[in-house]
Chains A and B, each alone.
Chain A
Amino acid sequence: MNNSFLRVSIWVYLAIFFLYLLGPLVIMSITAFNSSGFPRMTPWECLTFQWFGELFQDQRILNGIKNSLIIGAGTVVLSVAMGLAGALMLTQIWPKLRATYYTVIIAPILIPGVVLGISTLVFWDRINRMLGLGADSFLSNGIFLTVIGQSTFIASYCMLVLVARLQRYDVALTEAALDLGATHAQAFRKILLPFMRPAIASAAVLAFLASFENYNTTTFTFGEYPTLTIELAQKVRYGITPSISALAFIIVALTVFFALLNEAKLKRQELVAAARKNATVEELAGKIKLPSFFAGNMAAVLVVVFAVATITVVGTATAYNPGQCIANVKEQKRLEAEQRIQELRKQREEQRKKREAEEAEQGDAQQSAPKPSNNSGFGNVFAPNTLDSDDEDDATGAETPSNNGGSGGVFDPNSLQDNQ
């Protein structure tokens, strides 16, 4: 009994944990499809794809993506190269220097990103001045500074990834290549590099993602070239819209897709290796019948399901027109707002009357008179069902946008909701 209780509590704990981990991402993704002007899941208004459209028309976002890609590419090249050199050095450095060296190259991971950004900025600014260059020189260029600043610590991550694989490398392989006549460069290119390829790929992906999402360092170094993350931070800090959710949804979807794809590839490699083990000589000579990509490969199946789902969604998005629903919701909102105004008016009226009554100390008969007519009028005419007729929709659809745009602050649904 004790055991089953433990097991249940473990699963409950796991569920809560992953809810905490993944819940926010799911909710954020969902808000990208809600037509509400503020990213929210409830109340659900209409299914819409308008935020994606808005996203792709936002010049600052597009420019940020461009800068992020340029900086990401530079950072990947520089930090993988430095990480590889750092890892190679670590495996053959003079033993007495090893501990110090390791501390130095691992330190950037622990140094706060803010500090790295500042030190990069300060240092290169000084170099720039020492060389007598102007404020627009290459050394004070935002892209250069950001690549340099990010690579400082991203190279440490790369180094850790690469050194793990390098430790399993047999130096005798390089020696064997040299012994067979290869130059050092050939041995590096033909033997060490292919061996390191999986780790280099991992390091490159890691470096790109770290560069792409970096904020702390970049915020000091970006200069004239804000990255996507910087633009996002600006947007999020000064007012949030669901188009950010739309971007988040795209990134989440891409991440999930590539994670699954990678998983499927790994699984396939395992299967191929197993098949080769059992293959005969003739089969190996080229006619080996390898297992298909999908056989016994859950992840691959998921990739396809995922891809089909995406195509479906995109297809729906182009065909689907949420205008009617949005119009309905807006009309509803307008009416709710009107109702609210009426209520306010009524309250004011009542207060006024109260005051009058207090002042006059009379008027009992008049107090309850306006109430019934007001209430019944709204309740019947503006019930949601009655809004379905086409005529009314066309009329309201034409007039509401301007109405809503102007009064966005006043008619903020939140205030309504709270009092309902």
Chain B
Amino acid sequence: MSAGVGVDLENLWIRFGDFVAVRDANVNINGGDFFSFLGPSGCGKTTILRAVSGFLDPSEGKVLIGGNDMRGIGPNKRPTALIFQNLALFPLMKVWENITFSMEINGASAAQRRKRGDELLDMIALPGQGDKLPSELSGGQRQRVAIARALCAEPDVLLLDEPLSALDLKLRQHMRTELREIQKRVGITFIYITHDQGEALTMSDSIAVMRAGVIDQIADGKTIYNDPNTAFAASFVGENNVFRGKIKQVMGNEALIRTNRSGDLVARVSTANQGKLKEGDDAMMFVRPEAFAIAPDGATGDHFVTARVTHEEFEGNAYNIFTEGEGGKEIKVSLPNLGQSFEDHTGQNITLEYETRNAVLVPAGELAAE
């Protein structure tokens, strides 16, 4: 893969009046990476994208593209191309005119544009559709036209603002693979905005998890999933069960937490918080549903949780058990369906078991909204 052009955000602040949309963001995006900003709507990820593409001036800090400060350079002079959430295809232009708009701006002849347009249409697997209007295409086809239009401008950095959100589930999953393949083929930096953790995890080399203008964690998908920095990152990415409590004792990289409901439990302190969490701190322990197993009745210890089952459900690939948890929230346990028989525990107390490495301890903090 060719080393593309990197993007750096240095101490970036963006304010709208009194409202802080982005708070002190520091991000280094390597050239040629597929980088995602992941967060709920309103967290400021689109604002960052608009600052990179040049539609917004940062209140403080810098946006660097390929090491050059972009301050004062308009969107039409930056080596970026943006794919809008609603795609923003020009409704009155034919597909090929849409795709080659950037060439029209540069004064290319119609024949040149037509040729390049056909090449790009082949690339996005829509050969011969150039004479249609955008409104005559399906959602997925429009999606690909938007990508082709952005690529035709030969940008160093492609910015994508939740481009898949308007598609149905099947198409969305298909487009994920396709986007990733296109990115690998053209080798330029992709910056991708999404609130869908599935998209972020499947496509990205790196992910920044954002919450209310703050970047909580930047890491690859596996790290984000397995070793979250904050309660928000742990609860936003994937399903997770939370146990609140106070640190009772720190033992190297592990700690004992006195939970409000389930007694003392042991967990691994997340990497970023090692050495920072101290005894007496409020903390949260997260255990994924698939990390639980059913233990023999009566087992006790610091990695066993006993609770009453409220209901159960069969999901095909997994069997889900829900038990009473703290604060009205249930604990979800997901047992993989490997052909074994499941018995109904509803109304009974069961004991759950987990391995210490699968329980992560972070400082107490805000959880993602359901």
Direct A/B contact, Cβ within 8 angstroms: yes
Contact A176-B102, Cβ < 8 Å, known A181-B153, A183-B76, A281-B129: no
**Is B84 among interface residues, defined by CB-CB distance under 8 A?**
yes
- The answer to whether B101 and A177 touch across the interface, beta carbons within 8 angstroms, is yes
Size category, B interface: 20 to 34
In the bound complex, residues from chain B placing their C-beta under 8 Å from that of A190 are: 101, 104
Within 8 A of A (CB), among B116-154: 128-129, 131-133, 136, 149-150, 153
Q: Which residue of B lies closest to A186 (CB)?
A: B105
Instruction: A83 to B80: give the CA distance in the assembly, Å.
Output: 35
Quick one: given A178-B74, A182-B76, A195-B91, are A172 and B86 in contact (CB under 8 Å)? yes
Question: Which A residues touch B129, using CB under 8 A?
Answer: 281
Whole-angstrom distance between the alpha carbons of A218 and B80 in the complex?
54
Give A281 to B133 CA distance when docked, in angstroms: 11
Give min CB distance, B124 to chain A, whole Å. 15
Chain B residue with Cβ nearest A176 = B88
Q: Which residues of A contact B106 (CB under 8 A)?
A: 181
Question: Provided the pairs A179-B76, A285-B128 are in contact, do residues A173 and B81 lie with their beta carbons within 8 angstroms?
Answer: no
A172 contact from B84, B101, B149, Cβ within 8 A? B84
Contact of B82 among A175, A183, A194, A282 (CB under 8 A): A175
- A154-183 Cβ-contact flags toward B at 8 Å (1 or 0): 000000000000000010110111111111
A180 proximity list for chain B (CB < 8 A): 76, 81, 101-102, 105, 149-150, 153
Give 1 or 0 for each of B92-120: 1 = CB within 8 Å of chain A CB: 10000000011011100000000000000
Interface string of A254-287 (1 = CB under 8 A from B): 0000000000000000000000110001101110
A191 proximal to B (CB < 8 A): yes
- Note all chain A residues with C-beta closer than 8 A to B149: 180
Docked CA distance A286–B88 (Å):
26
Tell me which of A179, A277, A282 contacts B81 (CB under 8 A): A179
In the complex, A172→B88 CA distance in Å? 6
B53: Cβ under 8 A from any A Cβ? yes
Q: Kindly supply a per-residue 1/0 record for chain B positions 49-69, scoring 1 wherever the CB is within 8 Å of any chain A CB and 0 otherwise.
A: 000011100000000000000
Please measure, in the bound complex, the distance between the C-alpha atom of A183 and the C-alpha atom of B90, giving whole angstroms: 16
Contact status A281-B128, CB under 8 Å = yes
Asked whether, in the complex, the Cβ of B86 is within 8 Å of the Cβ of A181, the reply is no
A221 and B367 CA atoms in complex are apart in Å by 71
Closest to B53 in A: A179
Are the C-beta atoms of B75 and A195 separated by less than 8 Å?
A: no
CB distance from A93 to the nearest CB of B (A): 17
- Contact check, A181 vs B102: say whether CB atoms are below 8 A apart: yes
- With beta carbons under 8 angstroms apart, the residue of A173, A277, A284 that contacts B131 is A284
Tell me if B76 and A178 are in contact (CB < 8 A). yes
Q: Given the known A-B contacts A173-B88, A194-B92, A195-B92, are A179 and B132 also in contact in the complex, defined by CB atoms under 8 Å?
A: no
- Give complex CA distance A194, B93 in Å: 10
Assembly CA distance A276 to B132 (angstroms): 8
Inter-chain contact A276/B136, CB cutoff 8 Å: yes
- Interface readout for A187-201 with B: 1 if CB under 8 Å, 0 if not? 000110011000000
B138 smallest CB distance to A (angstroms): 13
Contact among B53, B75, B86 for A170, CB-based, below 8 A? B86
Number of interface residues of A (CB under 8 A): 24
Within 8 A of A (CB), among B170-226: none
Task: Tell me the minimal C-beta distance from A292 to chain B in angstroms.
Answer: 21
Q: How long is the Cα–Cα vector from A281 to B91 in the complex, in angstroms?
A: 18
Q: Among the interface residues B55, B74, B105, B149, which one has the most CB atoms of the partner chain A within 10 A?
A: B105
CA distance A177 to B93 in the complex (A): 12
Task: Find chain B residues with CB under 8 A from A172 CB.
Answer: 84-86, 88
Nearest to A281 among chain B residues (CB) is: B128
CB distance from B162 to the nearest CB of A (A): 13
How far in angstroms is the closest Cβ of chain A from B19?
15
Among B84, B102, B106, B131, residue most surrounded by chain A Cβ atoms (within 10 Å): B131
Find out whether the CB atom of B82 lies under 8 angstroms from the CB atom of A179: yes
Contacts of A282 in B (CB 8 A): 128
Nearest residue, chain A, Cβ from B104: A190
- B101, chain A: closest CB distance, angstroms: 5
* Contact partners of B82 in chain A: CB under 8 A: 175-176, 179
B82 to chain A, nearest CB (A): 5
Give A402 Cβ to nearest chain B Cβ, in Å: 67
* Chain A positions within 8 Å of B77 at CB level: 181
Q: Which residues of B contact A182 (CB under 8 A)?
A: 76, 101, 105
B100 (CB) vs chain A CBs: closest residue: A180
CB-nearest residue of chain A to B82: A179
Residues of A within 8 A of B150 (CB): 180
Most B C-beta atoms less than 10 A away, residue of A176, A178, A285: A176
Task: Please report the C-alpha to C-alpha distance between residue A179 and residue B77 in the assembled complex, in whole angstroms.
Answer: 8
Whole-angstrom distance between the alpha carbons of A175 and B87 in the complex? 11
State A277–B133 Cα separation when bound (angstroms).
10
Residues of A within 8 A of B84 (CB): 172, 175-176
- What B residues does A170 contact at CB under 8 A? 86, 88
Given contacts A179-B75, A181-B106, contact A173 B90 (CB under 8 A): yes
Task: Give every chain B residue within 8 A of A183 (Cβ-Cβ).
Answer: 76
**Cβ of B128: which chain A residues have Cβ within 8 Å of it?**
281-282, 285
Residues of B within 8 A of A186 (CB): 105
Give every chain A residue within 8 A of B91 (Cβ-Cβ). 173, 195
Closest to A288 in B: B131
> A191 to chain B: which residues have CB within 8 Å?
90
Contact yes or no, B133 A276, CB < 8 A: yes
Query: Which of chain A's residues 188-245 have a Cβ closer than 8 Å to chain B?
Result: 190-191, 194-195
B-chain residues with CB within 8 Å of residue A281 when the two chains form the complex: 128-129, 131-132
Q: Provide the residues of chain B in CB contact with A277, threshold 8 Å.
A: 136
Q: Which residue of B is nearest A180, CB measured?
A: B102
B88 to chain A, nearest CB (A): 4
**Which A residues lie within 8 Å of B101 (CB)?**
177, 180, 182, 190
A285 to B85, CA, bound (A): 29
**Bound-state Cα–Cα, A286 to B105, Å:** 25
| B88 in contact with A178 (CB, 8 Å) | no
A173-B88, A195-B92, A276-B136 known; A179-B105 Cβ under 8 A: no
When chains A and B are docked, how far (Å) is the Cα of A277 from the Cα of B136?
A: 7
Of A178, A183, A186, A282, which is in contact with the most chain B CB atoms at under 10 Å from its CB? A178
Q: Which 8 A-B pairs have the closest CB atoms?
A: A172-B88, A176-B88, A180-B102, A284-B131, A178-B75, A179-B82, A172-B84, A178-B76
Q: Please list 10 pairs of residues, one from A and one from B, whose beta carbons are closer than 8 Å in the complex, sorted by A's number.
A: A177-B105, A179-B76, A180-B102, A180-B150, A181-B77, A181-B153, A182-B76, A190-B104, A285-B128, A286-B131
Q: Which residues does B use to contact A, with CB under 8 Å?
A: 53-55, 74-77, 80-82, 84-86, 88, 90-92, 101-102, 104-106, 128-129, 131-133, 136, 149-150, 153
**Given contact pairs A178-B55, A281-B132, a sample of 7 additional A-B residue pairs in the complex whose CB atoms are under 8 Å apart:** A170-B86, A176-B84, A179-B80, A179-B81, A180-B81, A181-B106, A282-B128
